[in-house]
Amino acid sequence: MSSTIQYILIICVYFAAMLGIGLFFSKRNNTKSDYFLAKDKLPPAVIAFSFSATQMSGSSYLGCVGTMHSLGLAYAPVSITSAAAPWFCYVLVGDRVCRISSRLKCMTLSDLFEERFGKRAGLASSLIMIVAIVPVLTAQLKAAGTAFETIIGIPYLTTILVFGVIVIIYTLVGGMFAVAWTDMIQGVLMMLGMVMLVPIVLGATGGISGAYASFTTNNPTMATFDGGGKPLLWIISGFLVYGFYQIGGQPAAITRFQTTTQPEKLKKSLVWSVLFQSVVYIGVSTLGICSMALFPDLAAPDMALPNLISHFLPPLLGGVVLAAALGAMMSTIDSVLLMASSLFVNNIWGKALRKPNDDKAAIHVGRIVVIILGLLGTLFAIKPPDAILWLVTMGFSLMAGAFTFPLLLGVWMKGLTPAGGFWGMIAGAASTVIWYVIGYSMYGNLNDFVGGIWPAVVGSLVSLVVLLAVSKFTAPLEQEKLDILFEEADVPSNA
């Protein structure tokens, strides 16, 4: 049997398993709370893996080794701080998001923003999230298509169609149950991939010390944190953005804190999440160094991980690692689809348009939205328009700039006002885009920024200043609502 057939065989088994999980859970979705949140029906480990797998896209798994290959040690701070992201998210907002959502029955993060900062903030956050995250579907599908065309020769169009249809089906029928449990399996595969590949590759390079010695000999200019051609401020702001700024930048992952009414569960999930992400990112960093030691002149750095797989693993095991990479992309797509669907159903269809939003109607409309968005993402992935590519690049930063401080301070500080929250979000989003545009006009691309400072950092700082300044001069939320939000009064029984 040829190696390509063996790769395809493993990936077919993997696809069948994902579909099976979706169908298995399809009968459990009786209410919209089941469909969009699987409320109180997920164990801590599943919440953890789902949070982390959602946060780590295909670019974290397949792309990180390649980026490390291109930038050398300059990318190591991004790896470690990506592993720290759950720590920031769970500790700084997890507990509060869980409690507020439970008390006030918030289904989405926009519901929470609406309770805290009023209706227009809720609607603005829904629109920013939908605009920023839907292009992620296109990006992940495109990444899957390119990777599989290059690695095993499956035509690009076939990959994105098969891949897109499978994710749409299991998300559509299984809702959050299927999304979370498939994320769990995808997460375990991602860890398994690292656990299998790293020792074998290290064996071939003479262990960590051997790999590091070869890396520094082959690439002396890349053996320093500022040696990859990026300014130190770029590296420092990347260190902040991939860790702390995930609070606002990853609403699809933060939504996992709304899947339970028990904050204690999240304490256990935190440990699972951070262990999982640490294993993956230690593996990714180590493989990056090994790849530079073994293949210093690799023409396409994106092929660093596939290159290691094909050199060091038999096709059946290599297929498992490739399935893991596929899993990283799928887990992001399914979460984005479900989150966009819940935002549309709950915050736009139900609240803004005042359409029927009972359990049956919500699940029905939610499923239609999953199909439409999934198909749109797949269609755009066939030939992504320039505007979509722009949004893909900006999406995370846009949300990090808009939401990080309104969310973090909003759940802890009583003194912030609805106007402060709303204008903080708008100012954060606007200044993030402006910073991108300034960078683009100066350097001609979206990856170089003025002074090396990432747009999310600039956007969030502007958002913070506006949030605090406007809150100083505008009316606070009604005392009754504040007391409920900050647990100083019970929720009225008719609420």
Which residues here bind another protein, judged by CB under 8 A?
73, 76-77, 80-81, 83-84, 86-88, 90-92, 95-96, 207-209, 212-213, 216, 223-225, 232, 235-236, 239-240, 243-244, 267-268, 270-271, 274-275, 278, 281-282, 285-286, 289, 412, 486-490
- Provide, rounded to whole angstroms, the least separation between the CB of residue 280 and another protein: 11
- Provide, rounded to whole angstroms, the least separation between the CB of residue 27 and another protein: 34
Nearer to another protein, 154 or 484 (CB): 484
- Provide, rounded to whole angstroms, the least separation between the CB of residue 233 and another protein: 10
DSSP string, 246-276: HHHH-HHHHGGGGS-S-HHHHHHHHHHHHHH
Q: Which residues of 397-417 are buried (b: 16+ CB within 10 A; e: fewer)?
A: bbbbbbbbbbbbbbbeeeebb
- Provide, rounded to whole angstroms, the least separation between the CB of residue 278 and another protein: 5
- Provide, rounded to whole angstroms, the least separation between the CB of residue 494 and another protein: 17
- Provide, rounded to whole angstroms, the least separation between the CB of residue 220 and another protein: 11
Nearer to another protein, 244 or 435 (CB): 244
Nearer to another protein, 21 or 74 (CB): 74
Nearer to another protein, 247 or 252 (CB): 247
Question: How far apart are alpha carbons 308 and 329 in whole angstroms?
Answer: 20
Q: At what angle do helices 119-152 and 359-382 cross, to 10 degrees?
A: 50
Contact 248, 407 (CB under 8 A): yes
Query: Which residues have a Cβ under 8 Å from the Cβ of 59 and sit 6 or more positions away?
Result: 143
Nearer to another protein, 178 or 202 (CB): 202
| Angle at alpha carbon of residue 57, lines to 173 and 293, rounded to 5° | 145
Phi and psi at 385, nearest 5°, equal: -65, 155
Nearer to another protein, 156 or 225 (CB): 225
- Cα dist from 241 to 50, 143, 222, 224, whole Å: 21, 22, 22, 20
Strands (E), 173-270: none
Closest CA to 482 of 415, 437, 396: 415
Nearer to another protein, 158 or 209 (CB): 209
- Provide, rounded to whole angstroms, the least separation between the CB of residue 268 and another protein: 7
Contact 175, 29 (CB under 8 A): yes
Nearer to another protein, 170 or 272 (CB): 272
Give first-to-last CA distance, the chain, whole Å. Answer: 63
Nearer to another protein, 209 or 262 (CB): 209
CA 411 to chain centre: 21
- Provide, rounded to whole angstroms, the least separation between the CB of residue 107 and another protein: 23
2: DSSP letter: -
Query: Can you say whether residue 176 is alpha, beta or left, with left for phi > 0 and alpha for psi between -120 and 50 degrees?
Result: alpha
CA 344 to chain centre: 19
* Residue for token pair 């959050």: 176
- Provide, rounded to whole angstroms, the least separation between the CB of residue 405 and another protein: 15
CA 403 to chain centre: 15
Nearer to another protein, 87 or 156 (CB): 87
**Joined tokens for residue 100:** 């507020």
- Provide, rounded to whole angstroms, the least separation between the CB of residue 210 and another protein: 8
- Provide, rounded to whole angstroms, the least separation between the CB of residue 122 and another protein: 22
CB burial of residue 278 (10 Å; 0-12, 13-18, 19+): middle
- Provide, rounded to whole angstroms, the least separation between the CB of residue 357 and another protein: 30
CB burial of residue 358 (10 Å; 0-12, 13-18, 19+): exposed
Contact 56, 277 (CB under 8 A): yes
Nearer to another protein, 81 or 378 (CB): 81
Nearer to another protein, 162 or 282 (CB): 282
